[in-house]
Structure 1
Amino acid sequence: MQASKRLALVAGETSGDLLAGLLLSGVRQRWPELQAFGIGGPQMLAQGFEAWWPSDKLAVRGYVEVLRHYREIVGIRTALQQRLLASSRPDVFIGVDAPDFNLDLEANLRQAGIRTVHFVCPSIWAWRADRVDKIRRSADHVLCIFPFEPELLAQHGIAATYVGHPLANVIPLVPDRAAARARLGLGDRETVVAVLPGSRASEVQYLAARFFATAARLAKARPGMRFVVPAMPVLRERIEAAIRDAGVEGAVMVVTGQSHTVLAACDVTLIASGTATLEAALFKRPMVIAYNMNWLSWQIMRRKQLQPWVGLPNILCNDFVVPELLQDAATPEAMSQAVLAWLDAPAKISALQQRFTELHHTLRRDTAQLATDAIEQVLEG
């Protein structure tokens, strides 16, 4: 094996950037002279990644929302593909999640003789099962973050490796709640609710007003309750405007980033459906999952859903272990009642924490090494 490798990667949003950053840290240990380039965010940049475009260019969710950005996104993909096939041909292309962007790109690159790896199996077990044919055409190998996925893919002739979930190694089995509260300036006896309305502009657009109207109801029901919001820098202004509109400025603390510190510190979280719900589960925190999106996008997605759950903790536990309030059900009344129900049920929280601890052990693997081993096998052909 030559010492230097050229890897192209695409990570399409905050969670993908985090996963890719962790992957790059392991890959660079195997190949110290690694050149890595493509589309990425700050976690990847910290690993020496050369970002031709920032990952937030692809951070769009929902059919209608994607249509609004379709021309720009397709233009980026076309330009990236041309560059990878011409002057910057990589040894392997790794698409990190973002299947709507990455799978078509992978198929074209693979057809041109570039080896391809897809990191994070698309959720064909949850919705859009027809996507399996595209995965087979696109990826030489799939790196799976959930243990049941390689067997499912093997049934369709797709090579795959379970590498564990990188977040399970980053997040401690026993979070230090006291230290997290000290860092945020919160008292040990304060009731703290983490409010996470999403990492995309479209999520904040549809969820922030609902979430902070919920905070207003909770503050009225339990005076002295504190709310902490870990905000992406580009979304902070929108979030602070929603807080002012809800009239809860005095009760809400907004911090830049620090989502893990906030989750470690809280008693319960009101959280948008997505990767952050798995992070909350790994921090052993009770949660209320909520989501609201464009009506047409919701109708299309609902028809493609294969399971009764949308939240990752519920999918992985195969049960409604935490409440989900989706679309019209995501009202401030319902969300505040669900949050209060957790705060009034310590025995239920204890049982949930035990279940989440078992899940944490299942997902904890040496992800960087397992992923790098699989990438090396792909490179060897």
Structure 2
Amino acid sequence: MTWRLGLIAGEPSGDLIAARALAGVKLADPDVRPQGIGGPHLKAEGLDVWHPMNELSVFGYVDAIKRLPALFRIYSDVKKRWLREPPAVFLGVDAPDFNLRLEHKLRRAGVPTVHFVGPSIWAWRYERIHYIREAVSHMLVLFPFEEAIYKKEGIPVTYVGHPMADAIALEPDQNAARIRLGLDQHARMIAILPGSRASEIKLIAPRFLKAAQLLQKKDPNLQFVVPMVNEQRSREFKSFLSEIPVNHLRIVLAQEQASGISDPIAWSVLEACNVALVASGTATLETALFKKPMVISYAVSPLVRKMMAWKSGQERPYLPWVGLPNVLLNDFVVPELIQEDAKPENLALEISNLLNDQNRCDRIQNRFMEMHHTLRCNTPQRVADALLSIVHKQT
């Protein structure tokens, strides 16, 4: 019997992992009819897209304020549709500010609500747990330590692992990735990932490029490869590159990906490199899954920093780590240089230390392999089982 799945994914990372999860649901029950908000990956999996994902994406507090009227219109539209014709279950993927509010309304109307990718309450604003308890029927979490948090708070929860851990091979093939991208097979290569948002390019890219200059002063043969999600981000990055030139630097755009390769362009770049300089975020987890030693860095403007502190009521995260690999491994496995510490000299020094210490790199790669095995547990199947269990309880 046909049943409808309400689904909202608000960012590219959510679109990708939601698409893999939806593929698992469809495999288990082809009668599902997904509808809602998503990007190209979800659309390819058959999502009836009511609004494109980019209408929901906001980049920082200032952008969120500007976009409030449009966001409210989208919120009102999907809420009215689903209250009028309730789905069998609603799945909100990440985007907690939008999805939790919607889930609260839908659950009060009798719709089972599942939230996939728990907000980082373990780092910021733990008090959100009380609103989550009211809004969410069942949490699906990516990381093992999150399961204990929700169980302690009396919220039904299932650890489903991370879909990227299923999608990324346990043993990366560096030579094959370099052939795909047309890169030098023998060069020492550093991947630079300064983020995918304009604000990140503006604040982080100059630091990374200056660090690359310092590294090339010591070794002129070093090569750099930079993945860019689109032409706009590439143009923004190139504007800084013209001011801070770096030799042997290749920018790789998503459309340069060889036909038949469906994974994000950053994955091929990470598979091809020796070490990476990465802006904190999902990319650090991707880098770890490719077993690449890295230096994690991040910086925000003073205004954004004040707004984050105001909104969260705290100056720093609860945990001593910012990067996901360190959080998951409960240790400073790789260096983190944040805000004032993210000076080009510091970044270059830490990258150089990694390049010149193979024993340390081997230890890091072993820790990342352990983490990969922990996160690799057929996430699409686990998500499908959780959703179908909820749907079948109603029939």
Instruction: Say yes or no: does 1:156 pair with 2:153.
Output: yes
The residue aligned with 2:195 is 198
The structural deviation recorded for 1:268 is 0.8
Equivalents in 2 of 1:211, 1:42: separation in Å? 30
Instruction: Say yes or no: does 1:349 pair with 2:368.
Output: no
Structure 2 residue identity aligned to 1:359: M
Secondary structure of 1:271 counterpart: strand
Q: 136-145 or 251-260, which moves further after superposition? A: 251-260
Equivalents in 2 of 1:100, 1:69: separation in Å? 13
The residue aligned with 1:265 is 272
Measured against aligned partners, the alpha-carbon deviations of 1:312-344 in whole angstroms (never above 9, x if no partner) come to 001001111111111222122221111111101
TM-score (norm 2): 0.91
2:70 aligned to 54, 69, 72, which one?
A: 72
State whether residues 211 and 347 of structure 2, in contact with CA within 8 Å, keep that contact through their aligned partners in structure 1: yes
State whether residues 140 and 378 of structure 1, in contact with CA within 8 Å, keep that contact through their aligned partners in structure 2: no
1:235 aligned to 233, 236, 242, which one?
A: 233
Counterpart mapping for 1:1-381 below 5 A: 2=1, 4-86=2-84, 89-233=86-230, 234-248=232-246, 250-256=248-254, 257-299=264-306, 300-301=308-309, 303=315, 305-379=317-391, 380-381=393-394
Counterparts in 2 of 1:320 and 1:65: CA distance versus 1, 3 Å: farther
Structure 2 residue identity aligned to 1:190: A
Equivalents in 1 of 2:144, 2:26: separation in Å? 25
The structural deviation recorded for 1:54 is 2.5
Structure 1 residue identity aligned to 2:278: I
Structure 1 residue identity aligned to 2:126: A
The structural deviation recorded for 1:27 is 0.7
Equivalents in 2 of 1:309, 1:169: separation in Å? 25
The structural deviation recorded for 1:274 is 0.7
The structural deviation recorded for 1:167 is 0.8
Counterparts in 2 of 1:225 and 1:59: CA distance versus 1, 3 Å: farther
Measured against aligned partners, the alpha-carbon deviations of 1:240-271 in whole angstroms (never above 9, x if no partner) come to 22222322365233332511111011011111
> Number of matched residues?
378
Structure 2 residue identity aligned to 1:285: K
Measured against aligned partners, the alpha-carbon deviations of 1:140-186 in whole angstroms (never above 9, x if no partner) come to 10111111222220111100111111111111111111101111112
Secondary structure of 1:303 counterpart: coil
The structural deviation recorded for 1:210 is 2.2
Structure 2 residue identity aligned to 1:11: A
State whether residues 228 and 251 of structure 2, in contact with CA within 8 Å, keep that contact through their aligned partners in structure 1: no
Secondary structure of 2:243 counterpart: helix
Structure 2 residue identity aligned to 1:309: W
The structural deviation recorded for 1:67 is 2.7
State whether residues 115 and 140 of structure 1, in contact with CA within 8 Å, keep that contact through their aligned partners in structure 2: yes
Measured against aligned partners, the alpha-carbon deviations of 1:285-332 in whole angstroms (never above 9, x if no partner) come to 011111111323324345262111110001001111111111222122
The residue aligned with 2:257 is none
State whether residues 119 and 144 of structure 1, in contact with CA within 8 Å, keep that contact through their aligned partners in structure 2: yes
Equivalents in 2 of 1:155, 1:298: separation in Å? 31
The structural deviation recorded for 1:377 is 2.0
Measured against aligned partners, the alpha-carbon deviations of 1:89-134 in whole angstroms (never above 9, x if no partner) come to 3221111011111111110111122111000111222221101011
State whether residues 39 and 53 of structure 2, in contact with CA within 8 Å, keep that contact through their aligned partners in structure 1: yes
Secondary structure of 2:155 counterpart: coil
Structure 2 residue identity aligned to 1:58: L
State whether residues 124 and 131 of structure 1, in contact with CA within 8 Å, keep that contact through their aligned partners in structure 2: yes
State whether residues 229 and 254 of structure 1, in contact with CA within 8 Å, keep that contact through their aligned partners in structure 2: yes
Equivalents in 2 of 1:250, 1:370: separation in Å? 44
Q: 32-41 or 297-306, which moves further after superposition? A: 297-306
The structural deviation recorded for 1:374 is 0.8
Equivalents in 2 of 1:106, 1:235: separation in Å? 33
